[in-house]
A and B are shown apart, each in its own frame.
Chain A
Amino acid sequence: MTTSRNGTANDTPDASPDSGGHGYSGVPRWLYLPAAVGALFVMLPLAAMLAKVNWSQFIPLVTSAASLDALGLSLRTSAASTVVCLVFGVPLAMVLARRPFRGQRLLRAFVLLPLVLPPVVGGIALLYTFGRQGLLGKTLELAGIQIAFSTTAVVLAQAFVALPFLVVSLEGALRTAGKRYEAVAATLGAGPTTVLRRVTLPLVMPGLASGAVLSFARSLGEFGATLTFAGSLQGVTRTLPLEIYLEREADADAAVALSLLLVAVAVAVVGLSYRKPGRQVAA
């Protein structure tokens, strides 16, 4: 028989989610089944891959010259493409979020296009822009600059597919933060550049940081556009995903080991960006 340990009237559980009580959740019980299947669908392949890792050869495999070249190239190009995304993405997000203008919806649609475009198509488009016979490529060639099939091409391909991640995430943060702080800052005598530097960017820093991390992660995983536009030259354009794809044919153990490396980097990146969820600017 159950008896309440302290039968006071105030002993009812608190519905507030913060105070440890169990509030009404609104989740039907049957929902847990498809949710569990969904979670398994994501986790099972990773586990399967983990089971295939040849642990005794793991260290030699991931420290081979080709692997280290690919990893180093991937990290360097992804960092560079994240910088490119920041330099052009922050102004783009500001323009899209702050000032309405003609054709804004169209511009936004085009900026977001690489999110849904097959990367191979992006690579072909880049090739016809910066390639030897491309729109800008011819002029660049005359100036002695050759982009296609160089490390620069890798960075461009990655930036092309990663830019929308930064713009979307920052534009959302800018809209949430609103313009009121900026208006107050202006009436306090701060010019537009000072407002951007001292008010706007600090206010959207969480959004900017997660946008940058997502861009980096997307760059790290880039495959299709890179292969099409930059090719696969060891140490020059062969990034980690390309190396994995190649090794899959030649040495399955090496492919699995490198995949695990990429998973580890991805987990670290996602962990970093979602460490402080829901940190919002109080109004």
Chain B
Amino acid sequence: MTFRMTARVHGRLEARFTVAPGETVAVLGPNGAGKSTLLAVAAGLLKPDAGSVRLGDKVLFERDGGKHGWVPPHLRGVALLAQEPLLFPHLSVLDNVAFAPRSAGQRRATSRETARRWLAEVDALDLAGRRPGQLSGGQAQRVAVARALAAEPELLLLDEPMAALDIHAAPQLRRMLKRVLAGRSAVIVTHDVLDALLLADRIVVLEKGRIVEEGPVREVLGRPRSAFAAGLAGLNLLAGTVTAGGLLVSGPGDAGGQAVSGTSDGEALAGEPGVAAFPPSAVSVFPELPHGSPRNCLPVVITDLEPHAGGIRVRAGELAADITPAASAELGLEPGMAVYFVVKSAEVQVYAA
């Protein structure tokens, strides 16, 4: 069943959002972008000011002119898995997972059978007799996944399910989610590009309550159009106007007004808005303007130096360059210094925004 929602929540969200049958969509964005608001609207925990929410033929919410519709959360078939497991502390693990089948009218014994099946599905059958207080964070979140799945939701919402886990438990849960999300309609809110890569078919990037970018995972990460997606993909991104040989950078940044030459795909037409993307590893740092160079030279002011994958990442506003510690020491780099970021035209991809 296709999930469609158009929702406006004053000051928090204004988005049109779709999940195709069997599709997993990753929702990414900075803090306060409206990701959790989007999930709350889908789950029925928050009534939008206007819009409509549909799951297949079922109208879950509608407020549009004279039309009004509302289905409360427990009748929606939309389950929510939060950042914290929120297992009911007064019930055993088995009864937690049996909660949804029981609520759906199953008898106690039958619901426990169902619960065992879902616990087995997440490799947690051995935890059935425990109390939630006796579980580790990773175990509790696995049980929470089983509990949500036992509701047999038509749409599963996951709100940063890995965020509260330590670095050892997260990969295990991610592998398990990859298995159980296959073929299921799901929305996963995450900060981690790895979740998007491994779990999602499609990425939606939210910024300030609006969707700024969406598309298949490879496409968004390969050719990001928003600063946030570029950051996720680990790319430098300059926005501006497409020119014959590259891009005229717009905006107030260090590179504003600069012409950048790059390789363009056929679709970017001169005069239209576009972006130029290049990896930090392709950027060299020069203290002075190099002479007679066919390369792009961007005058910038260093804002930060930080360790990165065995080298040094030099940050200058939104741009970054990766250099060796030796090079950094030789140049005597420090925050506040004016330098040139130099990048070969061949390394710069220019495409329509």
Q: Give A residues with C-beta under 8 Å from B.
A: 180-181, 183-192, 194-195, 198-199, 202-203, 205, 281-283
Given known A-B contacts A183-B80, A184-B82, A189 and B100 have beta carbons under 8 A apart: yes
> Complex: how many Å from CA A192 to CA B72?
10
Q: Which residues of A contact B150 (CB under 8 A)?
A: 188
Q: List 25 A-B contacts (CB under 8 A).
A: A180-B82, A180-B84, A180-B86, A181-B86, A183-B43, A185-B103, A186-B73, A187-B73, A187-B76, A187-B78, A187-B79, A187-B80, A187-B151, A187-B157, A188-B99, A189-B74, A190-B99, A194-B103, A198-B102, A199-B88, A202-B91, A203-B89, A205-B90, A281-B89, A283-B84
Q: Give B residues with C-beta under 8 Å from A.
A: 43-45, 72-80, 82, 84, 86, 88-91, 99-100, 102-104, 132-133, 147-148, 150-151, 153, 157
Which interface residue of A180, A183, A282 has the most chain B CB atoms within 10 A? A183
Q: Which residues of A contact B45 (CB under 8 A)?
A: 183, 186-187
> Complex: how many Å from CA A189 to CA B82?
16
Which interface residue of A180, A183, A187 has the most chain B CB atoms within 10 A? A187
Closest to B153 in A: A187
Closest to B78 in A: A187
Instruction: Tell me whether A188 and B86 are in contact (CB under 8 A).
Output: no
Given known A-B contacts A190-B74, A190-B103, A191-B74, A185 and B79 have beta carbons under 8 A apart: no
Closest to B40 in A: A183
Closest to B85 in A: A184
Cβ of B132 to closest chain A Cβ, rounded Å: 8
> Complex: how many Å from CA A198 to CA B96?
11
Cβ of A136 to closest chain B Cβ, rounded Å: 37
> Complex: how many Å from CA A184 to CA B159?
12
Given known A-B contacts A203-B89, A203-B90, A188 and B82 have beta carbons under 8 A apart: no
Cβ of B102 to closest chain A Cβ, rounded Å: 8
Q: Which residues of B contact A190 (CB under 8 A)?
A: 74, 99-100, 103
Q: Which residues of A contact B90 (CB under 8 A)?
A: 202-203, 205
Cβ of A159 to closest chain B Cβ, rounded Å: 29
Cβ of A208 to closest chain B Cβ, rounded Å: 13
> Residue A191 contacts which of B79, B103, B153 (CB distance < 8 angstroms)?
B103
Instruction: Tell me whether A198 and B99 are in contact (CB under 8 A).
Output: yes
Given known A-B contacts A183-B45, A183-B80, A282-B89, A188 and B133 have beta carbons under 8 A apart: no
Instruction: Tell me whether B86 and A184 are in contact (CB under 8 A).
Output: yes
Closest to B147 in A: A188
Instruction: Tell me whether A187 and B74 are in contact (CB under 8 A).
Output: yes
Given known A-B contacts A183-B73, A183-B80, A188 and B103 have beta carbons under 8 A apart: yes
> Complex: how many Å from CA A202 to CA B92?
13
Q: Which residues of B contact A203 (CB under 8 A)?
A: 88-90
Given contacts A188-B151, A189-B103, A190-B103, 9 further A-B contacts (CB under 8 A): A181-B86, A185-B88, A187-B76, A189-B77, A189-B100, A191-B74, A192-B72, A202-B88, A282-B133
Cβ of A43 to closest chain B Cβ, rounded Å: 37
Q: Which residues of B contact A199 (CB under 8 A)?
A: 88
Q: Which residues of A contact B82 (CB under 8 A)?
A: 180, 184
Given known A-B contacts A191-B74, A202-B90, A185 and B80 have beta carbons under 8 A apart: no
Cβ of B214 to closest chain A Cβ, rounded Å: 25
> Complex: how many Å from CA A185 to CA B144?
12
Closest to B43 in A: A187
Q: Which residues of A contact B76 (CB under 8 A)?
A: 187
> Complex: how many Å from CA A185 to CA B96?
10
> Complex: how many Å from CA A179 to CA B329?
54
Closest to A187 in B: B80
> Complex: how many Å from CA A272 to CA B327?
72
> Complex: how many Å from CA A204 to CA B314?
53
> Complex: how many Å from CA A180 to CA B99?
16
Q: Which residues of A contact B151 (CB under 8 A)?
A: 187-189
Q: Which residues of B contact A181 (CB under 8 A)?
A: 86, 88
Cβ of B46 to closest chain A Cβ, rounded Å: 10
